[in-house]
Structures are given as C-alpha cells and as structure tokens.
Amino acid sequence: MSSSPAVFDPSTLGQIAESIDPSQVVETSDYSDSILIPVGRYISTSRSLQNVEKRDDGTASVTLSLTGGITSDSGVTFGGGQYPLRAWVNSKLFSFQGQPGSTSSLAQYLKACGFETAGKTVAEMLLMVPETLTMPVYVKIGRTDKAVKQDDGSYKSAGLKTKDFVIGNDEQGNRLFGATATKDGVTYAGKPRVEGFSRIR
C-alpha cells in the first residue's frame, strides 16, 4: 500500500528564510530583461514602412521598422519580433565638413539600397522607398539613453550619443561601451539606436 507524498508545511518558510544570508538577493538591482544590442555594424535583410509624413519645415520624414531583425558578422540575430528597432530618415539637407554639396539621411538610405539619388526630387525618391524594403543593407547600431518618465507622465531623454557610453578600450584598441552612462550626476540606461545605413558590396 503506497502512502501519499508529504505536503510541505508553509509555516516553516519563515524559519528557512531566516537561516539564509540576508545579503543574498534573487535579482540584482541593475538587471534588465531587455537585450542591449552591442554597438557595431549589422545586416538588415528586410524592413517595413511604418510611416511617412510631411514635417513642419516642409521636408519629408520616413519611419522604418527593422522587422527582419539585424544580423552580426558572426550570425547572431537581434531585434525583430514584437518590438523591432526603428530608424528615421528624412529629406532635410546637410553637409559634411570639407565636402562639397549637400545630402540627406533619406538619400543615404536610398544609396545604401543601390539607388542613384543625385539631383532627384524628394517626391520621386519617396515613391522608391517601398522597393527598398527587401534589399539587404548594412545598418550601423550605436547607443543613446532610454527616456525617463517625468512627474507629469511624459518621458524625457538626455540626448546621449554613442561616445557618451565609451568606458575604455580592449587590448586591440577597440572601444568598449557600457550599458549605462552618467551625465550631470545622473546615470542613464542605454538603448540601441540606428545611426545609419550603408551599401553591401
């Protein structure tokens, strides 16, 4: 005749808890469920068009979701899923110091996808964006700070850049990046940021 298994007596939990070192924790205060994608270059094989809008200054802004995720040279894939990385490109012209002429982040994205952009109008280039969504491109991932919730319920970012997260160099001289950065005495958690696209040759 088999006997029923003994049932644990919850009243003994207090005694067990008191016998455990009080400095032991079940999770450190700096733990995060989110994966902080390392700074570097990745391949984006597919994207989706999230939004296109005309801004107040008359330029066009395009929001892309990297729904296919991003893959490192070693074959590790990050992102995608329910909350893919987003990238914002626009038609506002800017210049590089020491270089003639002007370009835009929209032009740089389209060139990364193999399109000729010199002299093209914003209108005709916007119509090309859907054709780029399944074209593999390199994507540069940097870092910025995660916005912090304010007392009024809004979220505010300190506008940190990748360089603000540098914590030193490895033995080969490559820069190392921390998961947090401190500015004006406040420590901010980092999050990945799409810094640009380039062509796969």
Quick one: pLDDT at residue 30?
A: 59
CA distance 81 to 78: 9
- pLDDT value of position 34: 62
Domain count within the chain: 1
Note down the domain range covering 58: 35-150+157-198
Confirm whether 82 is domain-assigned.
yes
Q: Which residues contact 76 (CB under 8 A, 6 or more apart)?
A: none
**pTM score, two decimals?**
0.79
Neighbouring residues of 61: CB distance < 8 A, sequence distance ≥ 6: 51, 52, 53, 54, 55, 88, 89, 90, 91
User: What residues contact residue 181 under an 8 Å CB cut-off, 6+ apart?
Assistant: 145, 160, 164, 165, 187, 188, 190
In this prediction, residue 117 carries a pLDDT of 95
Per-position b or e across 115-135, b if 16+ CB within 10 A of its CB:
bebeeeebeebbeebeebbeb
Is the residue at 43 inside a domain? yes
Residue 21 lies in a domain: no
Residue 29 lies in a domain: no
Contact 158, 180 (CB under 8 A): no
Q: How far apart (Å, rounded) are the C-alpha atoms in residues 43 and 140?
A: 9
Closest CA to 177 of 141, 147, 146, 148: 141
C-alpha 135/C-alpha 78 separation (Å) is 18
Let me know if residue 61 belongs to a domain.
yes
Closest to 128 (Cα-Cα) out of 141, 138, 114: 114
pLDDT 10s digit of each residue in the chain, 201 long?
Answer: 566 777 888 888 888 889 999 889 887 765 666 668 999 999 999 999 999 999 999 999 999 999 999 999 999 999 877 889 999 999 999 999 888 999 999 999 999 999 999 999 999 999 999 999 999 999 999 999 998 888 898 888 899 999 999 999 999 999 999 999 998 888 899 999 999 999 998
| 2 domain residue, yes or no | no
